[in-house]
Amino acid sequence: MSLLHGIMKRFLIWSAIALPPALLILLSLKPLEINSIRLIGCFAAVFLIMALTVIPALRSQKRFRQPVALSLALVTSITIFNWPLKVAYTFSRPAFDQLGQRVIAGEMIKTPRRIGWFRVERVEAPGPAPNGIDEHGLRLWTGIHANGNTGFVKASPDELRFNLWSHLKLDETWQFISED
């Protein structure tokens, strides 16, 4: 019985250490709206700090100090910089640009579909494309909501004509936004 108890105790301790950054990485790759990532990141940091004070094994055993510090550093860096989204975007950028060329050329894109690492629910384009004509730039919406969409917009950060709730500049041509 004590072997099983020891295994469960270690599992719970390592879960408390690994779960907060893993959850934030997955939510960032969903991709979840930026302010939500920041709020969940703050909760994750508070959870880790509370775990340090509540779980005696984390306080007393030196072998857990480095993993907890690494976990807290990951949570902090994801909360501040949202680097998982930026890394996934970097790998997906060629697919975004290729799709953009097809849409601007007038091709109807069937959605939902995967584009790079992201699931795009709706594609809207400027100009003569029948996918949604306006001056806002190419939009790859990953979240469709009555109160405002979330997704990638091909536009200069200075020329975003949206009612923004949040905005993350990915580079000079692509932005990740959430409408209000």
CA separation for the pair 92, 154 (Å, rounded): 13
If you write DSSP's letter for every residue of 123-161 in order, what string do you get?
EE-STT-TT--SSS-EEEEEE--TT--EEEEES-GGG--
Report pTM.
Answer: 0.80
Question: Could you give the percent of the chain with pLDDT greater than 90?
Answer: 22
Contact indicator for 12, 56 with CB cutoff of 8 Å: no
Q: What is the pLDDT of residue 160?
A: 67
Query: Per-domain residue ranges for the chain?
Result: 2-81, 85-179
More reliable by pLDDT, 12 or 67: 67
Position 132 pLDDT exceeds 50: no
Alpha helices in the chain (DSSP H): 2-29, 34-54, 56-60, 65-81, 83-104
Mean pLDDT to the nearest integer, 115-142: 74
Position 38 pLDDT exceeds 70: yes
More reliable by pLDDT, 38 or 1: 38
Q: What is the pLDDT of residue 1?
A: 53
What 3-state class would DSSP assign to 170?
coil
- pLDDT tens for each residue of 165-177: 787 888 888 888 8
- pLDDT tens for each residue of 52-105: 777 776 666 777 778 888 999 999 999 999 999 999 999 999 999 999 888 878
CA separation for the pair 11, 110 (Å, rounded): 44
Q: What is the pLDDT of residue 131?
A: 47
